[in-house]
Every structure is written in C-alpha cells, then in structure tokens.
A and B are shown apart, each in its own frame.
Chain A
C-alpha cells in the first residue's frame, strides 16, 4: 500500500499528460510500469499520470539508430529482433540481464533510465553507446547525451513538467564492436560491477575510438576519458587493453558496498572492463575481417 498516492490519472495523449504535469507542479509524476512507485514515492508526489495511452511502446531501427519508446518494457527490449540485430545485440543482451523475467516484464525503459540504482545495467550501456535522451516538456523537447543525462541523478534535475519520451542509440560506424559485461555473486543478487565498451577500428585495425563506461563503483555510470586516450590510434593488444582498463578504474573510488571491500571492487572493475573491451574489439575485428573479405 502506498498511502501517499491519492489519485491516478489516465491522460490520452502527450498534450493531456503535459497539462497534468504542468498543473501538478511536482505533485503529479509521470509513470510507466510504476514499479519504483510501488516501493518508494518521491517526497512531493501524491498523484500519478499513467503514460500507457501515449503510444510510446515502439522499438524502431533506422539509419540514425535504434529508437526505444519510453514505455517499452525491458523484456520487450530483450526479446526485440530489431534490438538483437543492432550493435551485435548490445542493448538486447544488457536488457536480458536486468533483474529477472517477472521484473523485466514490468519495468519500462524510461522508468529504468530515470530511477537509477548503483547496480543499474542499461544506463552504463547508454553512456558507452552515446545514447540520446528525448526529454519532453511543456516548451517542447530537448535532446540530451547520456553523459549529460547521467552527470547527476536524473530525478534531481528533471523538471516536474518533463518526461522521457524516447531513447535513441546512434548507429555505429563501420568496424564497430560493443560489449556489456556484468559481475554478480549470484544471478539474482545486485551486480557488484559492470562495464560497457563501444569501439571502432580504422582500416588498419588500430583503435579509431573507444568509449568505456563503468557501473557499480558509484551511483552514476563512470565514463573513462583516460581509457579512450590509452586506446586511440593503438593496436588493441592484450597489454594495451589491460592498461586501458586499469586507466579507466584508475584512482576512482568505489562507494561503500556492504558485500565487498572497495579495493576488491576496483580489482573486479578492472577485470570486467578489460573483458568488455576484449569482446568489443573482437566484434569490431570480426566486422573488419568481414569487410576485407568483401
């Protein structure tokens, strides 16, 4: 029972939703699956506006990339044939590792992006893949890069009149590879650390670009500029990837986790980051050899 919730609205379209949010001045929260509201309601909120009638439950794939409607469920993303085709199934694969089936069928992409936990999977992937968030408000839409979106906790800066409409993951260039790695003690406990890597190779097989994001060290995903620098223009040799992973974890402090020490988390993050890089470069390498055969 969430005694604080006194009303649920069912707006029929974006205009009605925006009107409700505007009038609510923080009292009304937009809600997708509503999972997080079942166990915690933000301080000012006492009414909910269901986004279900807005038609935001589509996944489309075009030249620009993969577009995820905010109301797509995590299970829907995990089983989407389009998502499976995109970036070697990066998004679909990561979605399949979010919590468990019974949760994935409820949690929506939008809610999952906004309600951030230290063990969240997809936000790490969004950062590595340079995803764009379409945030709709009364005065129109604004597009934010994932790094901006997760610069601080979304719930602290999102205006009460705004909601997430869509997340777009840009189509990668040629010779690209991506991977998501996650480490849990058991499959259904919260992850200790995770890492997502999106890389491209040049024609010579050297690293053209590398984006590496780490999860689990602190609440917000941690993008590593140092890893990118370590790799750019270099051959992705095992030693180089090890250096890049070490650089990424670098001096980063891990916040307290009741289950393990911060030192172990850092060691673990280094291994997981390196494995993500290895898989991403292997995928990019396979693309490149496919290219040269063609």
Chain B
C-alpha cells in the first residue's frame, strides 16, 4: 500500500505492506538512526517524533501514520551544523555507545519545544521511555539542562536583538 506522509519536513509516499511496522519501513528507506533495541516498545532505541511527540516506531503500524509528520534523527541538525541539543549531548558527555542517543535527542527536542526550562523531574519524566545502560543517565540529564540553557540564551539573544 502507499502511505502519504511527511518525513523530516519532506512530503513522501512510503510503499509498505499493511502489516509492516514503521521502524522496519523507515530503516528500509534509509532512516537508520532509528534503531532496533527490543521490538516491544520498552527501550526507545527506535524513537521518532510523530507530529512532534516521541513514540516507539516499533509499536506503530506504518499504515496508521498516513498524512502525519515523522521526524527522525536525520531531520535534526546536520553534520556540519549540529543542533544545540546535539552539541550539548557531546559537551556534557551524554554519549557513550550512541545506540540510544538518537532517541534521547528526539525526546529532548520534543520536551524543550514545549518546556524550554524544564525542572529535573520534568526531564526525567520526558525521557522515561528511553533506555541507556552506558551512562547511568546522569550526563544525559546534564545535557538536557545544558541544551535548555544554551537555547534559552539564544532565544534571549534573539529577543534582545529584536528589541534593538
């Protein structure tokens, strides 16, 4: 079947079987930043944003996302111009093996989009669907705080710029 949707801002038509899982379809289409970790919706390695909210691509039938907007890690930042969240993850030491990193970055993006200055509890709550064995999460929470601070600073800068 043909599934019209938007991926990373680009309108596309995915070809997929009616019983196919979105994660498999995305990976086949080259969006390999979404990883297989458990296939049961627990670990969040397959996280993508569905209309801006983090979801498990392994729990989604591709046929049910028609006309919706998917954001994968490939749609965040660029190799030569990282997103501030990506910069913060590197600077805070939040990346070890990196397998969970796309999921955490996408979940962070959704969080900071709604809550620019999250409290620690809000950070832990928003990232609760993403598993990491390497870091013990400490540096990941640090990274989210750092990203929030930098993005807040940038916003403030733009506002001051506008006021002048």
Contacts and interface: CB of A to CB of B under 8 A. Distances in A.
A100 B19 CA distance: 24
Interface residues of B, number: 32
A34 B129 contact: no
Interface in B19-47: 19-21, 24, 40-42, 44, 47
Contacts of B17: 1
Contact of B41 (A35, A52, A96, A187): A35
Contact of B128 (A6, A34, A37, A100): A100
Contacts of B128: 100-101, 187-188
A156 interface: no
Interface string B116-132: 00000000011111100
B50 interface: yes
B101 to A, nearest CB: 15
Interface stretch (A83-91, A102-110, A230-238, A280-288): A102-110
Contacts of B41: 35, 38, 99, 102-103
B78 to A, nearest CB: 25
B74 interface: no
B100 to A, nearest CB: 12
Given A101-B107, A102-B55, A34 B60 contact: yes
B24 A1 contact: yes
B107 A39 contact: no
B113 interface: no
A35 B50 CA distance: 14
Interface stretch (B61-69, B91-99, B155-163): B61-69
Tell which of A35, A38, A48 has the most Cβ of chain B within 10 Å.
A38
Contact of A7 (B18, B56, B129): B18
B53 interface: yes
A175 B43 CA distance: 42
A177 interface: no
B61 A105 contact: no
Contact of A2 (B42, B55, B61): B61
B64 A103 contact: no
A188 B19 CA distance: 27
B61 A106 contact: no
Given A35-B59, A101-B127, A103-B59, A8 B64 contact: yes
B63 A48 contact: yes
Contacts of B40: 39
Interface residues of A, number: 30
Contacts of A35: 41, 59-60
Contact of A37 (B50, B54, B61): B61
A2 B130 contact: no
A101 B17 CA distance: 27
B149 to A, nearest CB: 22
Interface in A1-27: 1-8, 10
Interface of A: 1-8, 10, 31, 33-35, 37-39, 48, 50, 52, 75, 96, 99-103, 105-106, 187-188
Given A5-B63, A101-B129, A105-B50, 4 more contacts: A39-B40, A52-B64, A101-B126, A103-B56
Interface of B: 1, 17-21, 24, 40-42, 44, 47, 50, 53-56, 58-61, 63-64, 66, 103, 107, 125-130
Q: Which 3 A-B pairs have the closest CB atoms?
A: A102-B129, A100-B129, A2-B19
8 contacts: A1-B19, A3-B19, A38-B61, A48-B61, A96-B125, A102-B44, A102-B56, A188-B42
